[in-house]
Amino acid sequence: MNTAENIKSSVREQYSKIALQDKATNAASCCGVGAPGTCDIMADSYTHLKGYNPDADLGLGCGLPTEFARIETGDVVLDLGSGAGNDCFVARAETGATGKVIGVDFTPTMIDRARKNAEKLGFHNVEFRQGDIEDLPVTDNSVDVVVSNCVLNLVPDKRRVFAEILRTLRPGGHFSISDVVLVGALPEKVVESAELYAGCVAGAIQLDEYLQIINETGFQNVTLQKQKPILLPDEILLQYLSEAEIRAFVETGTGIFSVTVYAEKEGGDNAAKTENRLKAKQAVLSETCGCTPGTCC
């Protein structure tokens, strides 16, 4: 039986290896782990998005949350499970030099790679913090937008993560999160596979339960922005199931889906948000021109 700590240890070990691999290697397997297959069908292409940087794209996502996240100039954006920085750099293109992007990842090797990518790009308003997204190293009510791409399914305590998102968002803030969910039950052998857990499948929960957790946490306007099916190829399933078990699994009609979910934190004031963005812009300009906010800036 996988305990929460065993799962976290396995995920950390797998993603430490993934951080040292290139996108082609990761795309040839299931979310970067396991034997070669075609699980790269989970990933969507980022190449058309402003801010995309190939060095930061490890091919580990299952959606495009930053494309749906309604990020505005001057926003503070938080990326959960930031990896090599891909979504952070796309978010930075939206929030601009007057905003800020914070990436949190609990794998030191990923943090190191992301920081090196940010340095090469010369981004001084993109910060990467090592930490557990069940206990975010971010202060209360400090973030405008939260994004995450194919990460929450790896976390044992999903309720805790959504509670942390609610805590860190400012009133009126929102999230856009891409994740893997189920409709129907996976075979027990797949559920208990630590490798497939790190591969974004075995940690997935039912879509109805996923949305229920978000609602019960206290979010409003919960919206399913995108949904697409994910088909695990037989060469992957044969590592865990017999041919007869695969046929039985297919006959159950269990669906594995990539979804992008949007929700908002209650409260907020558009005028106050505009004022906060103006203050952030003045602070950035003050650092560059050396003046007092509201004078030469």
Q: What is the DSSP string of 230-269?
A: E---HHHHTTTS-HHHHHHHHHTT-EEEEEEEEEE-S---
User: Which amino acid is located at 12 in the chain?
Assistant: R
> For the chain, what is the domain count?
1
Instruction: Write down the pLDDT at residue 29.
Output: 47
CA distance 75 to 84: 21
- Beta-carbon contacts of 227 under 8 Å, excluding residues fewer than 6 positions away, are 257, 258, 259, 260
Residue with tokens 């920085």: 85
Instruction: Quote the longest CA-to-CA distance of the chain.
Output: 74
CA distance 83 to 20: 11
Q: Is residue 287 part of a domain?
A: no
- Beta-carbon contacts of 67 under 8 Å, excluding residues fewer than 6 positions away, are 49, 90
* CB atoms near residue 81 (< 10 Å): 25
Q: Is residue 208 part of a domain?
A: yes
Q: Is residue 295 part of a domain?
A: no
Q: Is residue 48 part of a domain?
A: yes
Instruction: Write down the pLDDT at residue 156.
Output: 83
Q: Is residue 31 part of a domain?
A: yes
Residue 62 buriedness (CB in 10 A; 0-12 / 13-18 / 19+): buried
Give the domain range for residue 91. Answer: 4-281
Residue-level pLDDT, tens digit, the chain, 297 residues: 456 665 555 555 565 555 555 555 545 444 444 443 334 556 678 889 999 988 888 777 889 999 999 999 999 999 999 999 999 999 999 999 999 999 999 888 999 999 999 999 999 999 999 999 999 999 999 999 999 998 898 888 999 999 999 999 999 999 999 998 988 877 777 666 645 544 556 578 899 999 999 999 999 999 999 998 877 777 777 877 888 888 887 787 777 888 999 999 999 765 455 555 555 545 544 544 454 444 444
Write down the pTM of the prediction: 0.78
Q: Are 85 and 126 in contact (CB under 8 A)?
A: yes
CA distance 25 to 98: 36
Q: Is residue 49 part of a domain?
A: yes
Residue with tokens 């050396």: 290
Residue with tokens 């891409």: 178
Instruction: Write down the pLDDT at residue 250.
Output: 79
Residue 38 dihedral angles phi and psi, to the nearest 5°: -135, 35
Q: Is residue 290 part of a domain?
A: no
Domain CATH code at residue 73? 3.40.50.150
Instruction: Write down the pLDDT at residue 34.
Output: 45
CA distance 4 to 9: 9
Q: Is residue 40 part of a domain?
A: yes
Strand stretches in the chain, DSSP E: 76-80, 100-105, 126-130, 143-149, 169-183, 205-206, 220-230, 255-264
End-to-end CA distance of the chain: 59
For residue 47, how many C-alpha atoms fall within 13 Å in the half-sphere facing its CB?
3
